[in-house]
Amino acid sequence: MLQVYLVRHGETVWNVSRRIQGQSDSALTAKGEQQAHQVGERAKLLGITDVIASDLGRTRRTAEIIADACGCPVKLDPRLRELNMGVLEQRPIDSLTAEEERWRNSLLNGSEHGRIPQGESMAEMAARMHQVLNACLDLPPGRRPLLVSHGMALGVLVSTILGLPAHAERRLRLRNCSISRVDHQQSLWLASGWVVETAGDVSHLDLPALDELQR
């Protein structure tokens, strides 16, 4: 059985100020750096052997801290990036017009063809996320990888493993530096392949993490 751990990046300046990040970037806050160090301590106990991260700055920095604790290098993979939020990237959420808010909500409320202009769909993001996850099956036996990605990206990955469509209503909260785990296994009582063991664990963090859309 292959166990793959999934980590959302640490808190960023734009998470705190409620700006839409997407594939734009914002630095980790001091709290975000602390969260990453706490994940690193947990990852070291879990025996993580491979750290694979989105190439955006906030995920790269989170991954570097975790990998340093585990004594392994970081491999960057742009397929782990957050959803491309198109024309809404870098915008404060409170500044959106009614039409722009409808675009944003189309990604959250189950709209099958939800997409922000010049952005990508949830299905397109899900496809690239599954490519990275399935590539973990090619690692040598005994490896225990950890993927560092983003809230919406990891949410759609976990949700589609559970059998939901990529565009399903977004109901899985993955806070900054939360840890999830998915396993590839054969079982008498579960469907073969990827299954969700845990999602959104923050028990390793000193303080609750913020989500960019929720307080």
Of 78, 84, 77, nearest to 21 (Cα)? 84
How much is the mean pLDDT over the chain? 95
Q: Catalytic: which of 82, 89, 120, 212?
A: 82
- The C-alpha atoms of residue 171 and residue 162 are separated, in whole angstroms, by 13
Q: Kindly state whether residue 136 falls inside one of the protein's structural domains.
A: yes
The pTM (predicted TM-score) of the whole model is 0.95
State the pLDDT at residue 188. 92
**Model confidence over 118-170: pLDDT tens digits?**
999 999 999 999 999 999 999 999 999 999 999 999 999 999 999 999 999 99
Q: How far is CA 38 from the centre of its chain?
A: 17
Of 4, 2, 6, nearest to 201 (Cα)? 6
State the pLDDT at residue 67. 98
Q: Kindly state whether residue 214 falls inside one of the protein's structural domains.
A: no
Q: Kindly state whether residue 208 falls inside one of the protein's structural domains.
A: no
Range of the domain at 15: 2-201
Q: Is the pLDDT of residue 214 over 60?
A: no
Q: Kindly state whether residue 211 falls inside one of the protein's structural domains.
A: no
Number of domains, the chain: 1
State the pLDDT at residue 215. 46
| Backbone conformation region of residue 86, classed left if phi is above 0, alpha if psi is from -120 to 50, else beta | left
The pLDDT of 48-72, averaged and rounded, is: 98
Q: Kindly state whether residue 178 falls inside one of the protein's structural domains.
A: yes
**Model confidence over 18-34: pLDDT tens digits?**
999 999 999 999 999 99
Question: How large a percentage of the chain has pLDDT more than 90?
Answer: 95
State the pLDDT at residue 208. 58
Tell me if residue 47 falls in helix, strand or coil: coil
State the pLDDT at residue 213. 46
**Model confidence over 73-83: pLDDT tens digits?**
999 999 999 99
Of 36, 33, 32, nearest to 148 (Cα)? 36
Q: Catalytic: which of 9, 89, 120, 167?
A: 9
**Model confidence over 99-108: pLDDT tens digits?**
999 999 999 9
Q: Is the pLDDT of residue 95 over 90?
A: yes
| Of 156 and 211, the one with more pLDDT | 156
The pLDDT of 89-115, averaged and rounded, is: 96
Is there a catalytic annotation at residue 167? no
Q: Kindly state whether residue 26 falls inside one of the protein's structural domains.
A: yes
Q: Is the pLDDT of residue 176 over 60?
A: yes
Q: Kindly state whether residue 62 falls inside one of the protein's structural domains.
A: yes
Q: Kindly state whether residue 209 falls inside one of the protein's structural domains.
A: no
Q: Tell me, what CATH number does 7's domain have?
A: 3.40.50.1240
Inter-CA distances, 170 with 7, 71, 148, 166, Å? 18, 35, 20, 9
Binning pLDDT at 50, 70 and 90, where does residue 206 land? confident
Q: Is the pLDDT of residue 49 over 50?
A: yes
State the pLDDT at residue 56. 98
Binning pLDDT at 50, 70 and 90, where does residue 209 land? low
